A and B are shown apart, each in its own frame.
Chain A
């Protein structure tokens, strides 16, 4: 059913690593997940028969071109949407709605603009009725983790995009969830900040007992971060492949130039197509337009 692709001969070390990972208890299970939307043009199947097991402390990414149901999938896991069929299990318990066991980081920085950074971080514990005093030092700890101690009294509008997203991560972690759901969290950041944030995220993941479920459309990002990558096919959203990333940990951005990284990326490029391949112009048959011969022709 799911073709676990060993696209490359796995060395024994890598194989052992993944065997160990799969022996960990399952944290998140998707069982025959199905989602259908009703629209004017008829019913649209967004997700079809998704089966997946994410293990404890695993870093799982979901890749796919836009419209493949990535966001729907993560929203169902978060409990913000209900599936048409199938089940989401967190540590064996079915999900019926949003809960403290699944923290979420959105692409649009969803920090509460009326609260300071520290107050934002304290939001979850406060909702749970924890005292402000214990809360305060705890919030500082989380802010220290994302490097925002100096900005605890700033308002979100005073922060840069990367800082906002770090604050959002701290806010989600402060609630002590089992799973951190991240819906294209770095999609709105510039490339440099993005790389930095990826590195940060891996550090945080190492230091905190958490399972991460990460959605992206950036191949490099998925490979760099993940243990395993789930590739979805669009319309209807189905599992195309589940890829085990052999790149060794701890990771650094230099590994992006390593052969196994490039091999995985090439493979992903062959299975993930641009959205509208049929509508692309035929580049070799473009008409000549407004060309004057003055010796500045490009090759």
Chain B
């Protein structure tokens, strides 16, 4: 009884009721996402300190530069050593023992601010040894003309800046012989996950930045060679490749498939070889395609074409053969000739199934895209995946992969939804996930309209 009403969870070949089905649909996305979150944010990854402000000291055995990741122990020791250095200098000042510093040593201390200055856009990267400019930054920081925002300096360091600036200001533009205080090292705490495990929030941010960026991203600015493009530009490039390749394949496959499905003659002539050909992986022809079509978009489009074609021909032929033969017989008894059978029975009869075939085939075309785009001059989203993947910059790789997945999924869902309008004569309209949502939305609106008949009339 439970199984008949849908109030059950596990019934063999029994549908669940709507609420449960919808719940599970949501769950099917939430579950993997949860798994990803647990894996990323779980307590099993050590915390590491990524250096933002560095310092050096003769009492340290190694030199740490901005961007280094340190274990908590090493980090604490690093900070402690620098603090001790500062304390020594201050003790020397108090006791009156005039500690003397060389100009070189002092300049080195001031250069500590360089990375922060670059991050805040006050200096350029190659001004690392432009001590006059750096000195000016210190003075302005102390006077409050400049204010570090990314990242803000710690309270402790701001005091040091002021203190040093006072000393610097006395002798400026010359250099004081009294030693400066060192900036205390600062870090952001990062979780040291393996590089391929990028947490969802980072991917989401990177994805959002990627699709909203009006200009090529900063991270790619240092790259040589290929043109710089935003994620969306790359996406449209990919879309162009796949759509052109797919359309070209369909231009050949649809007539060929229908002929093979309708006439035994074409079936025997075409299908055995196409079947054989489908076993040869299309990427294996990549080099041949490059030899024929050059290195630009030619071989890429042709690879998508070649990858999609054999499967499409076989599939469409099969779909055509699946058409109820009694419809053909009925048409024959109504006086239809061969050509009329094809035009008025076979083609309209297979259209909905053909449409679904095309949806499936377009989905599989995305598979060929990634390999295709690496042929010749790399392009599109696959270039991002390949280049950044090699550099272990997975936070840039995942958005590209995500974009492929999302657009494939969305296009398919939209097509499934539209089928209802293309084929109003299908008995249960074949709906996708989106279609069900749309239907539910439509019902909600229809239900809501009589309750609130004219909400707009009250608004002038």
Chain A residues within 8 Å of B, Cβ to Cβ: 78-80, 97-100, 102-104, 106, 108, 110, 112-115, 123-124, 126-128, 155-157, 168, 171-172, 175, 181
Instruction: Report A-chain residues with C-beta under 8 Å of the C-beta of B348.
Output: 112, 114-115
Q: Is B424 an interface residue (CB 8 A)?
A: yes
**CB pair B427 A106 closer than 8 Å:** no
Instruction: Report B-chain residues with C-beta under 8 Å of the C-beta of A97.
Output: 332
Q: Is B21 an interface residue (CB 8 A)?
A: no
Chain B residues within 8 Å of A, Cβ to Cβ: 324, 326-327, 329-337, 340, 344-345, 348-349, 351, 423-427
Instruction: Report B-chain residues with C-beta under 8 Å of the C-beta of A100.
Output: 334-335
A112-B329 contact, Cβ under 8 Å, with A127-B336, A127-B340, A155-B425: no
**CB pair B335 A114 closer than 8 Å:** no
By secondary structure, the B interface counts as helix
* A121 to B: closest C-beta gap in Å: 10
User: What are 16 A-B contacts with C-beta separation under 8 Å?
Assistant: A100-B335, A104-B330, A104-B333, A106-B329, A110-B327, A110-B330, A112-B331, A112-B345, A112-B348, A113-B425, A113-B426, A124-B334, A127-B331, A127-B344, A128-B335, A155-B424
Out of A155, A156, A171, name the residue touching B334 (CB < 8 Å).
Answer: A171
* B353 to A: closest C-beta gap in Å: 12
Instruction: Report B-chain residues with C-beta under 8 Å of the C-beta of A110.
Output: 324, 326-327, 329-330
Instruction: Report A-chain residues with C-beta under 8 Å of the C-beta of B334.
Output: 100, 103, 123-124, 127, 171-172, 175
A112-B424 contact, Cβ under 8 Å, with A80-B329, A104-B333, A171-B334: no
A80-B333 contact, Cβ under 8 Å, with A127-B340, A157-B426, A157-B427: yes
* B339 to A: closest C-beta gap in Å: 10
CB nearest neighbor in B for A174 = B334
**CB pair A98 B349 closer than 8 Å:** no
**CB pair A106 B340 closer than 8 Å:** no
How far is A157 from B429 in the complex, measured between Cα atoms in Å? 11
* A72 to B: closest C-beta gap in Å: 14
A112-B335 contact, Cβ under 8 Å, with A104-B330, A157-B427: no
Q: Which of A127, A128, A168, A171 neighbours the largest number of chain B CB atoms within 10 Å of its CB?
A: A127
Instruction: Report A-chain residues with C-beta under 8 Å of the C-beta of B423.
Output: 114
**CB pair A156 B333 closer than 8 Å:** no
* B351 to A: closest C-beta gap in Å: 7
Instruction: Report A-chain residues with C-beta under 8 Å of the C-beta of B324.
Output: 108, 110
How far is A115 from B344 in the complex, measured between Cα atoms in Å? 10
Q: Which of B326, B333, B336, B423 neighbours the largest number of chain A CB atoms within 10 Å of its CB?
A: B333
How far is A171 from B424 in the complex, measured between Cα atoms in Å? 21
Instruction: Report B-chain residues with C-beta under 8 Å of the C-beta of A123.
Output: 331, 334, 336, 344
A106-B330 contact, Cβ under 8 Å, with A112-B345, A127-B340: yes
Instruction: Report A-chain residues with C-beta under 8 Å of the C-beta of B331.
Output: 112, 123, 127
Instruction: Report B-chain residues with C-beta under 8 Å of the C-beta of A103.
Output: 333-334
Instruction: Report A-chain residues with C-beta under 8 Å of the C-beta of B332.
Output: 79-80, 97-98
**CB pair A78 B333 closer than 8 Å:** yes
How far is A175 from B340 in the complex, measured between Cα atoms in Å? 16
* A227 to B: closest C-beta gap in Å: 23
CB nearest neighbor in B for A116 = B425
Out of A80, A127, A156, A157, name the residue touching B335 (CB < 8 Å).
Answer: A127
How far is A168 from B333 in the complex, measured between Cα atoms in Å? 12
**CB pair A112 B349 closer than 8 Å:** yes
Out of A80, A104, A157, name the residue touching B425 (CB < 8 Å).
Answer: A157
How far is A78 from B335 in the complex, measured between Cα atoms in Å? 11
Q: Which of A106, A113, A115, A172 neighbours the largest number of chain B CB atoms within 10 Å of its CB?
A: A113
* B424 to A: closest C-beta gap in Å: 7
Instruction: Report B-chain residues with C-beta under 8 Å of the C-beta of A102.
Output: 333
How far is A150 from B385 in the complex, measured between Cα atoms in Å? 60
Instruction: Report A-chain residues with C-beta under 8 Å of the C-beta of B351.
Output: 114
Instruction: Report B-chain residues with C-beta under 8 Å of the C-beta of A175.
Output: 334-335
How far is A102 from B335 in the complex, measured between Cα atoms in Å? 9
* A108 to B: closest C-beta gap in Å: 6
Instruction: Report A-chain residues with C-beta under 8 Å of the C-beta of B427.
Output: 113, 157
How far is A104 from B326 in the complex, measured between Cα atoms in Å? 11
Q: Which of B329, B348, B427 neighbours the largest number of chain A CB atoms within 10 Å of its CB?
A: B329
Instruction: Report B-chain residues with C-beta under 8 Å of the C-beta of A156.
Output: 425
How far is A79 from B331 in the complex, measured between Cα atoms in Å? 12
How far is A127 from B326 in the complex, measured between Cα atoms in Å? 17
How far is A171 from B340 in the complex, measured between Cα atoms in Å? 17
